[in-house]
Structures are given as C-alpha cells and as structure tokens.
Amino acid sequence: MMNSNKNKRNRSRRQRGNPLVKLAMQPAYKGQPVIRLQIPSLNYIYTTTASTGVIAQVIQISAAIIVNWSTRFLTWDEYFVVGAEVEFRPVDNLPGIAMVWWDENNSSAPTITDCQERVCSRLPLNNANPKSVTTFKWVPKSTQDLQSYPTTNTAPVFAYLKLFTDNTNFGAPTTATKAMFAQVKLDVVFKGMRTY
C-alpha cells in the first residue's frame, strides 16, 4: 500500500511539469488540437582561426534556424517555443577548452571580456574526454517568453548561446581546425490549423 501511494505522488509530480508551459498549453485552440514537437536545427561546425585559435560564435534560439520551416510548418496558425537543447561535441582530439554561456539579451559576438564577466561552462576540445559531449538547456523564464507568433514570423529570438575560445587564454590550436560541432533542438508548440 505504501508503494502505491508513493507511486501516485511521483506520478502527480511528473504530470505537474513546468507551470509556465502548462499555462500556455491548452487542450484545444479554436476547436483544434495543440501539437508539441522537438525539431532539430541545422548542424554547425566551428573552426578555430589561424594564428589566434579564436572561435567567437552566437547560436540564436529561434525558428529561423530550423531547416525548411516555411515548407514544413506553415499549415499551423501560430507557435511558441517552450524550450531548447543545444548539444556540443568536439570533432577532434585538440588541446584547450571552450567557454559557453547563455545570454538572453545581447546578440553580439562573444569576447574574452565576456568570458571574464560571466559564469561560463567549460568544454574540452578533446573528443577523447568522456565529459566532452555536453547539452545545454533553455526554458522560458516568464509568461512573456511564451508569447505566440504566427508561423510566418520566424524573426523572434528567445535567447543566445555563446561559444568562445582562443589560444592565449584557453589553449585552442593556432591553425584553422574544425573544433566543435553543435546542434539545436527546439521544443515548439503549434496551435490552430491554417485555412486556405
């Protein structure tokens, strides 16, 4: 009997989930179902620059990074993003580390100063390291992040994930070398079928 009650409590906790997402998720929209999909983006491979070893990249969390969005998802009226995952994977056995952090406001390319001012995660550029494959997750922080947009509008950007390394500070190679692979998966909710 005790296990049964414990299982019920655990099931109840799992079903509760993120209250912001539950607020936005409704069983129907204009009499039509709601569908939630995890959609992969383009693949990105980042290369160090010759002589300085710099990688200074920004990955935007946006529908614009999804391959063929306009041909695949315009049958829906609107969408909102309820989360994202970005997986980083080194592509070679290289020296050095890369710094990664979330920025919800600034789209500018990262610099060494940014790394020094923020709490960053460190990723080894060595693909032999068991800790080298890392996933970063973003979830909405407020109901404003859950605003719906027409599926024809892929301009909204919800957050930016920044990646930085160089030779002087982080030991990256000083030749043009493919160093890091990244892929984004957007967690998207679609509502309402478009009528033509």
Give me 135's structure tokens: 């996933």
pLDDT band with cut points at 50, 70 and 90 for residue 8: low
User: What is the structure's pLDDT at 149?
Assistant: 93
CB of 42 closer than 8 Å to CB of 65: yes
pLDDT tens per residue, range 27-61: 555 566 788 899 999 899 999 999 999 999 999 99
**Average pLDDT score over residue span 131-152:** 88
Q: Domain ranges in the chain?
A: 2-193
Confidence check: pLDDT of 14 > 80: no
User: What is the structure's pLDDT at 134?
Assistant: 92
User: What is the structure's pLDDT at 130?
Assistant: 77
Region 2-193: CATH code: 2.60.120.20
Closest CA to 82 of 124, 139, 34, 15: 139
Phi, psi of 52 (to 5 degrees): -105, -20
Cα-Cα-Cα-Cα torsion 103, 99, 46, 170, nearest 10 degrees, comes to: 150
Q: Which helix (H) or strand (E) holds 123?
A: strand 121-126
Q: What are 100's strand-pairing partners?
A: 121, 163
Distance CA 128, CA 91 (A): 10
**Average pLDDT score over residue span 80-105:** 93
Give me 108's structure tokens: 């500018």
Confidence check: pLDDT of 121 > 70: yes
